[in-house]
Amino acid sequence: MLKITNVKTILTAPGGIDLVVVKVETNHDGLYGLGCATFTQRIFAVAAAINDYIKPFLLGKDPRRIEDLWQSAIVSGYWRNGPVINNAVSAMDMALWDIKGKMANMPVYELLGGKCRDGIPLYRHCDGGDAIAAEDNIRAAIEEGYQYVRCQMGMYGGAGTEDLKLINTHYDKAKNIHPKRSPRNKTSGIYFDPDAYARSIPKFFEHLRNKIGFDVEFIHDIHERVQPISALQMAKSLEEYRLFYLEDPVAPENVDFLNIMRQQTSTPIAMGELFVHLAEYKQLITQHLIDFIRCHISMIGGITPAKKLAALCELHGVRTAWHGPGDISPVGVVANMHIDLSISNFGIQEYTPMNDELREVFSGCPAIEQGYAYLNVKPGLGIDIDEQKAKKFPVAGGLPSWTNARTPDGTAARP
| Beta bridge pairs of residue 220 | 246
CATH 3.30.390.10 maps onto the chain at 4-106
Kind and range of the H or E element at 211? helix 194-212
Asked if residues 383 and 364 have their Cβ atoms less than 8 Å apart, the reply is: yes
pLDDT of residue 189: 61
Cβ 138 vs Cβ 208: under 8 Å: yes
Confidence band, pLDDT 50/70/90 cuts, at residue 409: confident
Determine the average pLDDT of the residues in 91-119.
98
Predicted local distance difference test score (pLDDT) of residue 410: 82
Task: Locate CATH 3.20.20.120 in the chain.
Answer: 111-379
CB 61 within 8 A of CB 22: no
pLDDT digits (tens, 9 = 90+) for 127-185: 998 999 999 999 999 999 999 999 998 655 554 433 233 333 333 333 334 456 666 66
Average pLDDT over residues 67-93: 96
Q: Measure the CA–CA gap between 237 and 203, rounded to whole angstroms.
A: 10
> CA-to-CA distance for 351 and 343, rounded, in angstroms?
18
Give CATH superfamily name and number for 111-379. Answer: Enolase-like C-terminal domain (3.20.20.120)
Q: Hey, which residues are catalytic here? A: 156, 223
pLDDT digits (tens, 9 = 90+) for 260-298: 999 999 999 999 999 999 999 999 999 999 999 999 999
Predicted local confidence at residue 183, as pLDDT: 63
What pLDDT was estimated at residue 161? 36
pLDDT at residue 408, rounded to an integer? 81
Cα distances from 22 to residues 11, 114, 175, 326, 379, in angstroms, run: 9, 26, 49, 18, 18
Would you state the pLDDT for residue 237?
Answer: 98
Q: Would you say the C-alpha torsion 122, 285, 273, 411 has a positive or negative sign? A: positive
**Confidence at residue 407, expressed as pLDDT on a 0 to 100 scale:** 82
For residues 41-68, give the mean pLDDT: 98
Residue 80 has pLDDT above 50, yes or no: yes
Q: Which residues pair with 8 in a beta bridge?
A: 23
- Band of residue 402 on the pLDDT scale cut at 50, 70, 90: confident
Rounded to an integer, what distance in angstroms lies between the CA atom of residue 357 and that of residue 16? 9
Give percent of the chain above pLDDT 70.
Answer: 91
DSSP-H helix ranges across 265-385: 278-286, 297-300, 303-315, 330-342, 356-361
Looking at the predicted structure, is the pLDDT value of residue 378 above 50? yes
Model-level pTM? 0.93
pLDDT in tens, 11-33: 999 999 999 999 999 999 999 99
SS3 110: helix
Q: How far apart are the first and last CA of the chain?
A: 48
Mean pLDDT, the chain, integer: 91
pLDDT recorded at residue 133 = 95
More confident residue, 191 or 235: 235
Please give the CATH architecture assigned to the domain spanning 4-106: 2-Layer Sandwich (3.30)
Rounded to whole angstroms, the Cα distance separating 282 from 305 reads 13
Q: Tens digit of pLDDT for each residue in 357-368?
A: 999 999 999 999
* pLDDT value for 411: 85
pLDDT at 180: 62
